[in-house]
């Protein structure tokens, strides 16, 4: 009887111990890691981010959890005591644990360990991959002029690219520079996904040669970063600006009245607007064309013009060409025309002396003979030949020469 009772007691103890062991194993097996989120996806060196681990109780009984930790491995955990006391997670429920980390090591992939301590015994360990990559976004000049006109408006275009594995947010470009004005104080581009590129254009007005700095700020998670680009600003003449060239000037005089005709060509690479031509002292503009309005001229386009004036006693007169660029800035070019004798010439630029003769370089044909008094284009030689021929016919008829010639042919 005694042996029988001892066997029963041993069987009961074995069942109790086995049941406890089975319960412990069951508690560990019930907990599953269902989600791991690292924010931002890729940290830059010195960044602060978060690691969030979500677990779920897949069993039918509650599981008591004593604490949860994230053991650092190459990164720092800033709130390692936050989850020292957790509680029970019911069947079918989920629970999240968020840890704040700092990337204070070299670039690479690190594996901090998530540790879950179960109150009734046992634990769960799970390695979390965290990537540290310190590649910055790229800023490049897409288009910029070699030189800038003084106080003239011009455009610089930048490209902003994100070569990182993860996205960045809040991308903002702010220009600054001494002696430089910007029509926009900043441009906001927003988010840039991995391998995405966006362009931004700034209209710049420079009063001096200087350096223009573009500060590009962006966020990686909650961390703000900056990338800068410096662009030299050189003040100088623009080869692409409108450039007025005067060709084939012809001068017609009638007393003190003078008519100037010719061609004006835009030899620049930008449109010229409000082109008009007149004369200046000592000449006085007169009707019918005191000011000749050409209007707009595209690059390589030309137009004829005619200006009338009085310039009694003058040996030369200044021909004024006025025009505007695309920003409305007014430019003036002056060409000096010699009046020593009527003629034609070609010239370009400001302040050039036009000789009274020479070969044309394009546009109109050659100049006719000038006699003054308004008869510069009369064909004198042709008229004289016709008059002489007529006189010869009349004299021959009166002398009877035509009758003698006729009688000779009859014989």
- pLDDT 10s digits, 32-84: 999 999 999 999 999 999 999 999 999 999 999 999 999 998 899 999 889 99
Contact by Cβ (8 Å): 212, 180: yes
- What percentage of the chain reaches a pLDDT higher than 70? 77
**5 — pLDDT class (breaks 50, 70, 90):** low
Q: Which of 21-30, 150-159, 188-197, 348-357 shows the highest mean pLDDT?
A: 188-197
**255 — pLDDT class (breaks 50, 70, 90):** confident
Mean pLDDT computed over 17-40: 73
In this prediction, residue 27 carries a pLDDT of 81
Whole-Å CA distances, 196 to 137, 163, 191, 284, 410? 10, 8, 9, 64, 106
Give the number of other CB atoms < 10 A from CB of residue 333. Answer: 21
What are the chain's domains? 2-132 (2.60.40.10), 138-233 (2.60.40.10), 244-354 (2.60.40.10)
pLDDT higher than 80, residue 345:
no
The secondary structure of the chain, three-state, reads: CHHHHHHHHHHHHHHHHHHHHHHHHHHHHHEEEEEEEEECCEECCCCEEEEEEEEEECCCCCEEEEEEEEECCCCEECCCCCCCCCEEECCCCEEEEEEEEECCCCCEEECCEEEEEECCCCEEEEECCEEECCCCCEEEEEECCCCECCCCEEEEEEEEECCCCCCEEEEEEEEECCCEEECCCCEEEEEECCCCEEEEEEEEEECCCEEEEEEEEEEECCEEEEEEEEEEECECCCCCCCCEEEEEEEEEEECCEEEEEEEEEECCCCCEEEEEEEECCCCEECCCCCCEEEEEECCCCEEEEEEEEECCCCCEEEEEEEEECCCCCEEEEEEEEECCCCCCCCEECCCEEECCCCCCCCCCCCCCCCCCCCCCCCCHHHHHHHHHHHHHHHHHHHHCHHHHHHHHHHC
In this prediction, residue 364 carries a pLDDT of 33
Predicted TM-score (pTM) of this structure: 0.58
pLDDT per residue over 203-246, tens digit each?
Answer: 999 999 999 999 999 999 999 999 999 999 998 876 667 888 99
- Look-up of token digits 């009245």: 257
In this prediction, residue 360 carries a pLDDT of 32
pLDDT per residue over 117-168, tens digit each?
Answer: 999 888 999 999 999 999 999 999 999 988 888 888 889 999 999 999 999 9
In this prediction, residue 348 carries a pLDDT of 37
């Amino acid at each position: 009887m005694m042996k029988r009772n001892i066997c029963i007691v041993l069987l009961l103890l074995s069942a109790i111990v086995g049941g406890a062991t089975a319960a412990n194993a069951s508690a560990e097996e019930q907990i599953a890691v269902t989600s791991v989120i690292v924010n931002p996806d890729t940290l830059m060196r010195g960044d602060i981010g978060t690691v969030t681990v979500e677990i779920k109780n897949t069993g039918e009984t509650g599981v008591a959890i004593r604490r949860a930790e994230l053991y650092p491995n190459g990164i720092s955990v800033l709130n390692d005591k936050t989850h020292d006391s957790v509680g029970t997670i019911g069947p079918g429920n989920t629970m999240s644990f968020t840890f704040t980390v700092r990337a204070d090591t070299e670039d690479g992939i690190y594996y901090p360990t998530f540790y879950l301590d179960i109150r009734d015994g046992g634990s769960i360990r799970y390695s979390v991959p965290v990537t540290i990559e310190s590649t910055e976004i790229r800023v490049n000049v897409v288009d910029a002029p070699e030189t800038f006109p003084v106080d003239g408006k011009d455009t610089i275009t930048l490209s902003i690219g994100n070569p990182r594995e993860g996205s960045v947010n809040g991308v903002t470009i702010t220009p600054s520079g001494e002696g430089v004005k910007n029509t926009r104080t900043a441009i906001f581009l927003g988010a840039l996904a991995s391998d995405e590129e966006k362009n931004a254009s700034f209209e710049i007005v420079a009063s001096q040669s200087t350096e223009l700095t573009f500060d590009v700020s962006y966020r990686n998670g909650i961390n703000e970063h900056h990338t800068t680009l410096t662009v030299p600003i050189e003040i100088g003449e623009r080869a692409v600006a409108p450039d007025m060239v005067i060709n084939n000037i012809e001068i017609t005089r009638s007393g003190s009245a003078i008519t100037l005709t010719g061609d004006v060509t835009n030899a620049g690479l930008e449109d010229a607007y409000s082109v008009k031509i007149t004369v200046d002292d000592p000449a006085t503009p007169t009707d019918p064309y005191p000011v000749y309005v050409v209007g707009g001229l595209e690059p390589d386009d030309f137009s004829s013009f005619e200006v009338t004036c009085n310039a009694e006693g003058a040996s030369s007169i200044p021909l004024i060409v006025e025009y505007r660029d695309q920003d409305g800035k007014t430019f003036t070019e002056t060409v000096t025309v010699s009046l020593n004798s009527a003629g034609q010439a070609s010239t370009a630029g400001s302040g050039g002396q036009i000789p009274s003769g020479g070969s044309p370089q394009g546009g109109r044909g050659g100049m006719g003979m000038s006699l003054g008094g308004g008869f510069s284009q009369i064909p004198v030689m042709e008229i004289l030949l016709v008059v002489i021929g007529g006189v010869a016919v009349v004299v021959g008829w009166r002398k009877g020469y035509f009758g003698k010639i006729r009688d000779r042919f009859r014989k």
